[in-house]
A and B are shown apart, each in its own frame.
Chain A
């Protein structure tokens, strides 16, 4: 069965370190997204991609970057981790239009 997987599930890192969160999907979806989820906020969009070599900034992109070298993967990199980036991160993929929007199980990141 097609799926979307995130790794690691949990990560603790130190302030200032570079961290990369992985997202891999086998739905063959063109669109992929990264969100963060914090108490008191709805999921907020960090970066998204509509296809290979395409990347776009979302509403909370500062301090994050992504790259899309193939259809299946959209890794999220925190260039220099900050305590404000402690959060739960969700990857999602979709076909364009209504329907078919699938989320991964999330990565809980703690920056100490």
Chain B
């Protein structure tokens, strides 16, 4: 069964600190991996999209990495801000249907002053 697993489930950090969220997937064959940010009460918003041939992709203070050999991805947040408090969802698309998104359950990040 195709799965996307994220860790940790939740994370608390202080403003200004860095953090890294993990995503392991078993989707095969694999086309692309996305990271989304979901604020409370809102829909997910895309942060990064990486194809299987890309190793890293940045979007401001967010940097995603991908190791297609080990089927692992990480999202690194630099110099966290209070507005980074949200759920971060890892999403994988299989190559046989790039419109089929397989969602992880997310990491809930809370940033405190």
Q: How large is the interface on A (under 10, 10 to 19, 20 to 34, 35 or more residues)?
A: 20 to 34
* 0/1 interface trace, chain A 23-59, chain B, CB 8 Å (1 if under): 0000000010100000011111100101000000000
Does A96 interact with chain B (Cβ within 8 Å)?
Answer: yes
What number of A-B contacts does a CB cutoff of 8 Å give? 48
Query: Which chain A residue has the least Cβ–Cβ distance from B89?
Result: A42
User: How many B residues have CB within 8 A of the partner chain?
Assistant: 23
Q: Which residues from B are CB-within-8-Å of A102? A: 46
Give Cα distance in the complex from A103 to B103, angstroms: 14
Task: Please give the residue numbers on chain B whose beta carbons come within 8 Å of chain A beta carbons, in ascending order.
Answer: 4, 31-32, 34, 41-46, 49, 51, 89, 93, 98-106
Task: Please give the residue numbers on chain A whose beta carbons come within 8 Å of chain B beta carbons, in ascending order.
Answer: 31, 33, 40-45, 48, 50, 90, 92, 94, 96-99, 101-106
